[in-house]
Homo-oligomer: A and B are copies of this chain.
Amino acid sequence: MFYIIGLGLCDEKDITIRGLEAVKSSSRVYLEAYTSILMVQKERLEAFYGKDLILADRDMVETESDEILRDADTQNVSLLVVGDPFGATTHTDMILRARALKIPTRIIHNASIMNAIGACGLALYNFGQSVSLVFFTETWKPSSFYDRIKENTDLGLHTLVLLDIKVKEQSDENLARGRKIYEPPRYMSIPQAVLQLLETEDNRNSGTLSADKTLAIGMSRVGGGEEHQRIVCGTLAELASHPSDVFGEPLHSLVIVGKRLHPLEVEFTEGFAISRNTWRQVAKSIYGCALD
């Protein structure tokens, strides 16, 4: 059996009982670690699971899937992924490959940012499509995410913005010269994400986003519990100038609040606001939320 097992969002204890049993029964266990990261290191997982883990980077998952699937028709093999197995299309590819090889597969689900984002206090059914925001460079500023955010905000829906992570990336020069030298990991911060959003609004100028009139929620280490998780609510301008170190270690996510904002959602979120007054004021006067 080939298992793809979601690890959840935080640490070694977020695996499910079913997932842990599958890990313990496996002759090889791979850890996929480039579409997302946990808040702990591989060694801590290994100690807790009582298994050595084989790190599977993007290269390996995309080009050596047959090696990962080797003998999975006669033994158990597990691929561990942060969050839920269906967070990244790469894992869908693995399932298709297993299917072609007639290897039975079992998906073990877990929390992912796609549902745990509810922790910010906004109702999940008021979210539209989610978008990914990649690091801009001097010459490459892809902005299709902006069209998706506009579609959501035009309908009054909230948008989950997933912030880029760069793990085991090569510089252009090293890539061109075929040198396997990798840059240090980079994780987009909330202020950086907000600045990219506002830069894109400046270029597109459709009035979808506004520094002072768009509410947003920055979150870090969602699912990590009170001692790790941070939730900060404010206008885009407030979030852009908020001290970046408040959010601490990665991963960070951002929610753009839509106009269908409900008074109960305001009540829940205002406890996390940089300025409760501004939060309520914008919710009431710009969003038209029926507050006292």
Contact = CB atoms under 8 A, between A and B. Distances in A.
A268 to B, nearest CB: 6
Contact of A226 (B12, B15, B104): B104
A125 B115 contact: no
Contacts of A8: 16, 109-110
Interface stretch (A17-25, A60-68, A166-174): A17-25
Contact of A86 (B116, B151, B226): B116
A18 to B, nearest CB: 4
B107 A109 contact: no
Interface in A118-171: 118-119, 121, 123-132, 151, 155, 157
Candidate in A115, A131, A157, A267 with the most chain B CB atoms within 10 angstroms: A115
A27 B268 CA distance: 28
B115 A109 contact: yes
Contacts of A119: 86, 107, 109
Contact of A92 (B111, B121, B125): B121
A114 interface: yes
A111 B115 contact: yes
Given A15-B17, A124-B130, A110 B107 contact: no
Most buried by B among A85, A116, A267, A271: A116
A271 B264 CA distance: 43
Contacts of A110: 8, 16, 110-111
A264 B90 CA distance: 11
A84 interface: yes
Contacts of A273: none
Contacts of A17: 12-17, 20
A111 B109 contact: yes
A2 to B, nearest CB: 12
Given A17-B13, A155-B151, A268-B95, A127 B125 contact: no
Contacts of A204: none
Given A87-B124, A96-B267, A124-B130, 19 more contacts: A6-B111, A13-B16, A13-B18, A14-B17, A14-B109, A16-B110, A84-B116, A85-B118, A89-B123, A92-B121, A99-B271, A106-B225, A109-B111, A109-B119, A110-B110, A112-B115, A114-B124, A125-B129, A129-B157
